[in-house]
Structure 1
């Protein structure tokens, strides 16, 4: 998608003298902050690229964005225009987090509380399962001949071991964002809000924790602290589940990067992004902790740390 966004076709901007500025970030969207002198204050998310390659359902994204707002953790939906590839949401006051912000125990606690509120909110439209997503992404890569690390399939057996172990004590799914990198937390100093529901769906809450942990480059100590802030008093099985879901995030989302590297119109090093996730996954696949994590998560150890 090229050219200027057709903002003048949005009903919420009709008859207004509005001002627009670009917002940074967004690897599948271009985002604009639009205001006027009468109090309008919204963000327009303009989708770019082929959403079907990435498994994005824009209708579900809009619905789930509204559900997150109902949970008190997301921005309100102002207008949804699938014909324009646009979603308009209210502007959230605050600061988008960066990885280093999680060094602050207060930030970490607010992020965990926001995640817990989302998970306790209304059910989302659609489900998300990284094992199904990884299989679909891998099929896309192969069918289209996209570049893939030559050792990617070396870990297929271990990946299946992880899938089986996580299935042993799978609890109920909850509404999850599934893409909570640091920039998707908006912190106003008192509470965090969560944005960007492209990959949202009902899922294992521990995937959310693991995905955040790896996307935000949390240290092992921070992973434990974040899990404790969310769970309260995590067991060894809880911590093992987060660690294994970190691996799932890394191995599965790495394919997202390789697909984007071949197909996205956005000028960004998607291949490097995917390689970084893949190398993280390889370190766990080949590391000494994987057998213990598989045993602990499947065995459901209840011993406290």
Structure 2
């Protein structure tokens, strides 16, 4: 999707969707969405969000049918928006609009927010199983293959840290094979706070995964401190666990290293106006700092240790 659709293009698109066809509409582009355009649609009958995607090129391994299935499962779990229509031919997933506060990283400093986030994650993870799985140790080499095929730019020393990434893979896969339905992309903007309730949105990368990846990715993407990660893990499991906190910490580092390549693919291919290279380097430099930290071997040991 090279640019925002014009009003005329949106009218043509939405007139093909039953709930919207022939209805007076007010449309507004929503912020966020680095692989799609999110449009708020207000009609006399209701308020909706249309997730509009390019039905052509897909270099990021996003399965839109799976996104739809998992969005329905998240709705059934009680933390996802209602799914109202799915038109893969048009590249549109139509959802109910959630009227609440979209979080920013600074909101995680507010009292009670981390507890709400933990509760929402636990609710999702106890809900219906998702279709497919998400494993960064599978996703990262797939991204690397795409980059190699298309000649996209990556940090020149990226592969110098492959051994540390492999060491993380060995300890994580050897110590626990639990998987639950995870969103896998819970940056701050994918939380919507509605009073005491927290909604989770955007299931493009959803799949069954280690719950500690979800928690570690939140730490990584939302700017949490390690003390806040421990608070999140404690709230999620209902008790302190050094081993689970270490596991979530390591999965967060894994996420940073893997998502770096996502940013590199977007930098090389996306027409969306956004500095994907800066986004990628922010995660890469943070991952490298963790890999080089003298405490990294101890972190690997802590994942395998008993509480």
So what's the TM-score if we normalise by structure 2? 0.95
The alignment partner of 1:54 has SS state of: coil
**Alignment-derived partner of residue 34 in structure 2:** 27
**Alignment-derived partner of residue 65 in structure 2:** 59
Match of 1:279 among 281, 285, 296: 285
Q: In the alignment, does 2:74 pair up with 1:72?
A: no
Match of 1:222 among 223, 228, 236: 228
After superposition, the C-alpha distances for 1:77-132 in whole angstroms (9 at most, x for unaligned) are 10100011110000112111000000113111111100110000000011000010
Match of 1:297 among 285, 289, 303: 303
Structure 1 contact 184–196 (Cα < 8 Å) conserved? yes
After superposition, the C-alpha distances for 1:218-266 in whole angstroms (9 at most, x for unaligned) are 0121111111111111322111101100111100001000000011110
Deviation of the 1:51 alpha carbon:
5.8
**Alignment-derived partner of residue 50 in structure 2:** 44
**Alignment-derived partner of residue 118 in structure 1:** 124
After superposition, the Cα gap between the structure-2 partners of 1:51 and 1:66, relative to the gap in structure 1 and judged at 3 Å, is farther
After superposition, the Cα gap between the structure-2 partners of 1:89 and 1:105, relative to the gap in structure 1 and judged at 3 Å, is same
**Alignment-derived partner of residue 145 in structure 1:** 151
**Alignment-derived partner of residue 184 in structure 1:** 190
Match of 1:160 among 141, 161, 166: 166
Structure 1 vs Structure 2 CA RMSD: 1.2
Aligned length: 300
Query: In the aligned structure 2, how far is the partner of 1:201 from the partner of 1:139?
Result: 21
Match of 2:113 among 107, 122, 141: 107
Deviation of the 1:172 alpha carbon:
1.9
- Structure 1, unmatched stretches of 5+, are none
Comparing 255-264 with 235-244, which one deviates more in the overlay? 235-244
**Alignment-derived partner of residue 139 in structure 2:** 133
Q: In the alignment, does 2:207 pair up with 1:201?
A: yes
The alignment partner of 1:9 has SS state of: coil
- Structure 2, unmatched stretches of 5+, are none
Query: In the aligned structure 1, how far is the partner of 2:57 from the partner of 2:217?
Result: 21
So what's the TM-score if we normalise by structure 1? 0.96
After superposition, the Cα gap between the structure-2 partners of 1:49 and 1:263, relative to the gap in structure 1 and judged at 3 Å, is farther
Moved over 2 A (4+): 1-5, 48-52
Structure 2 contact 55–90 (Cα < 8 Å) conserved? no
Query: In the aligned structure 1, how far is the partner of 2:82 from the partner of 2:168?
Result: 37
Match of 2:243 among 220, 223, 237: 237
Deviation of the 1:50 alpha carbon:
5.6
**Alignment-derived partner of residue 84 in structure 1:** 90
Query: In the aligned structure 2, how far is the partner of 1:182 from the partner of 1:285?
Result: 25
Query: In the aligned structure 2, how far is the partner of 1:49 from the partner of 1:10?
Result: 16
Query: In the aligned structure 2, how far is the partner of 1:221 from the partner of 1:287?
Result: 17
The alignment partner of 2:223 has SS state of: coil
Comparing 177-186 with 162-171, which one deviates more in the overlay? 162-171
Structure 1 contact 49–264 (Cα < 8 Å) conserved? no
